[in-house]
Chain A
């Protein structure tokens, strides 16, 4: 009996281990290791004058204290610029330990190694660093004004300035019957995985090998970066991701200073060294994202069709740019969503501030782009008095126009060309799910009760599954066990389950026999990483290809052994048999033995294989010239472009007329990520994304003061949603398979969070009747807006000229 594995919501194979307390996260490892702690800059911008460690050496159990001067060669050079770009004209990266100056609160200055973390922190507290403070730049406005510079050699605090244009926007705008302008703002938030970063390193002097465990999203990336910094051959460095307690993007950035310093110290001291960050460290020394100021100018006709879209935005990239300008590039391209803009121009400036780095956080710039576009759509609808869903649908790219080339380059440097999607169908499903057309009645009933409600909508398109490639390795052992490896990593997406589902399906084995390893460079040394909603598409397809090659080989060998044509064979539950005549069969485990012609009967499987020992052709070599021993296959998936998922959300919110408290009454999601390997897991990803979106819309912001101090660097003051803040999420889905890969997959990891800020803003605006332009929004801010609008102070989006009549 074959169970259909692909597409089945089977329970996760990693769960029994994790719910019984048998997870192995970074800090669970290396119990005998020395531990590191850091002295981090308390100033946002300062020159380092002196570092006095005299009192720290008294601390019992301190092994070593390092500053930048101790870092030799490449270790002391700036950290790498991972993703250069021609428009990133003034890139800057930091040093592993600050050299001469610090550019954000939290930048590491001194590393202490001690017998345990308590003692290391004791020593850190006794180290006195003397600084000369310098002028501080915080916030996009201050950066833009550039009265002070973060980096002397980055004039205007501009790291990058990029313009993309399709069509003649100026002409189209001039000729448009109507135009509107919007000024929008999004504030900083951050990934905040429940487990912070951590590194454990071990230098084996006998083998000359460095083994690094890191709570990372890219073990191949960390391995390569550390090998380069420490001048070690790549094949002498292993990097393994243990169980990782969430990433959401912050762990794709690499190498973190600690990822370089801890291995370096481990080798120098000849002892395992471990570092796990505490929560405050994570706030002030990992990465944030989201902050942008945006100006949109849009030209449209009487029906609300876009004619010209001119977007400018200023992106806060923090003190350094190690991840390049991926986030604003994604904003500028994904902003377009499911619409045809007519003509489009997007100009952005990526600006330095004396704050923590900005690297991708789930959505990676898409939420900001979606926000700009969707607020614009709402403004057009309000201006023309047309239903907001209707305006959107008039601008949709239609299914028959797929594939649709926007004429821009996506974050992977390849064409922004949507492969498939049925936006009208998605919208119809959403309207049905939320009851869009019935809302007017609902609102009337609510108003009769003295309640204030509103409905919001947001649509997005998400480029997923970016390359360059991922690999899959599938191997059948003589016991029947199937080992599967892929190089990218896992942070809760259930890879041990979904990849096993693919292999079980493709190979015809029981899923219980399939064991998946991710994120271990020893098992698969070629990989990119887990980000950009790419794992299912990239590794899923690579693993499928590998499994298929194993299947083909198994059928060939089985065919020879059974003396039938491979075309007549099927594999069911790990048994290769003649379709329709199942008694003629051979176990896959036996095939594995036969594939490796040693013919030693070292176990039962090998003994069983000996009955087939006579069925070979004496004129052929045991291992053919173009073949290899073993029942295994390795393959890579490398697409020409990303594949584009899409979704639409709607929310009904209630605002309290007196207190301005905001409650989400209903939240509805339509998502289309093509075919789904495990719908339960996809839905879980959507739920998590929506929760982060709710956090970003209503609760989460990084509060910096003018001197660059992060005022809310703890969970007490940085408000992430508990269960009480996340509404019940209603989902439905569409499947427009991707034509770009044989499994029809599109990515789904980031989907849930992309439109939420736009949707909530839309709903609050609908409830209140005035524009919401700055998010997140708190009850206090809503209340103040109400006062301003009551006074007639604040204005609606500005029409540039009189509507044509």
Chain B
């Protein structure tokens, strides 16, 4: 006769956007669900749960990873950056309506790089990490850099433009890091 079993829970502590976060979760809890439901950061979105669309991309120790393909327990002790944390970067500045935005976020708003916004967080984290490695991509390189993330709305034209514009803004802000504005 089978009995009800409660799942064994594991304490998971990791730093999300610079803040230590802890929750008790089963081993099979995906990092995407952990972030969204246990930590309450719903900016990371789930589009497919099988690692193809990239909407769930977060930065794990700075590297883009699919949060839907990771377990929360395997992220223990690591540094996670989600879309909510991008505005904490040193080169983030408040936009016209006051929200702090890193160069990639700012570029997306300038270039109409999003429509429904669902895939956007995955692009933002991916491109943020990409520009750290490749600060001056050509258009072809920019297009290739984003060719692991699906978008159904934009047709990618303006996302490519956003990558190039983000590179420009990065340069502008790097040159003016002493100026006014709430640097993170």
Q: Could you list which residues of chain A lie within 8 angstroms of chain B, going by C-beta atoms?
A: 11-12, 14-25, 27-28, 31, 55, 58-60, 116, 118, 191-195, 243-246, 248, 278-279, 491-494, 680-681, 684-692, 714-716, 720, 722-724, 726, 728-729, 752
Contacts and interface: CB of A to CB of B under 8 A. Distances in A.
Contact of B153 (A246, A680, A722): A246
A118 B26 contact: yes
A124 to B, nearest CB: 15
Nearest 4 interchain pairs by C-beta: A21-B43, A245-B118, A492-B116, A687-B155
B179 interface: no
Contacts of A191: 152
A722 B145 CA distance: 11
Contact of B46 (A17, A27, A116, A244): A27
Contact of A722 (B28, B44, B148): B148
Interface in B73-129: 82-84, 86-87, 95, 97, 99-101, 105, 108-110, 112, 114-121, 124
Given A58-B4, A245-B116, A726 B155 contact: yes
A193 B109 contact: no
Interface string B19-44: 00000001011000000110011111
Interface string B39-62: 011111111111011010000000
Contacts of A243: 116-117
B121 A692 contact: no
Contact of B115 (A17, A493, A714): A493
| Chain B contact surface mostly | loop
A691 B148 CA distance: 15
B158 interface: yes
21 contacts: A15-B117, A20-B43, A21-B42, A21-B83, A23-B43, A27-B36, A194-B55, A194-B119, A195-B45, A246-B153, A680-B112, A685-B115, A687-B157, A691-B154, A716-B52, A720-B152, A723-B151, A723-B156, A726-B157, A729-B157, A752-B155
B89 to A, nearest CB: 12
B158 A684 contact: yes
A163 B94 CA distance: 61
Contacts of B143: 723-724
A344 B139 CA distance: 47
A28 B152 contact: no
Contacts of B5: 60
B43 A22 contact: yes
Contact of B48 (A23, A715, A726): A715
Interface residues of B, number: 66
Contacts of A25: 42, 45, 118
Contacts of A16: 95, 97, 99, 101, 109
Contacts of B41: 21
A194 B2 contact: no
B160 A193 contact: no
B152 A692 contact: yes
Given A194-B53, A691-B154, 14 more contacts: A16-B101, A18-B114, A20-B86, A21-B84, A21-B121, A22-B43, A28-B36, A245-B45, A246-B116, A687-B154, A692-B155, A723-B146, A723-B159, A752-B155
Contacts of B49: 278-279
Contacts of B159: 723
Contacts of B180: none
Nearest to B121: A21
Interface of B: 2-7, 26, 28-29, 36-37, 40-50, 52-53, 55, 82-84, 86-87, 95, 97, 99-101, 105, 108-110, 112, 114-121, 124, 143-144, 146-160
A117 to B, nearest CB: 8
A715 B50 contact: yes
B83 A20 contact: yes
A720 B53 CA distance: 10
Contacts of B150: 194, 715, 720, 722
Given A20-B105, A279-B48, A279-B50, A723 B160 contact: yes
A280 to B, nearest CB: 9
Contacts of A31: 37, 40
Contacts of A59: 4
Q: Which of A14, A58, A715 has the most CB of B within 10 A?
A: A715
A748 to B, nearest CB: 13
Contacts of B40: 31
Contacts of B50: 279, 714-716
B155 A714 contact: no
Given A23-B43, A60-B7, A691-B156, A684 B101 contact: no
Contacts of A27: 36, 42, 46
B153 A688 contact: yes
Nearest to A686: B155
A371 to B, nearest CB: 20
A14 B146 contact: no
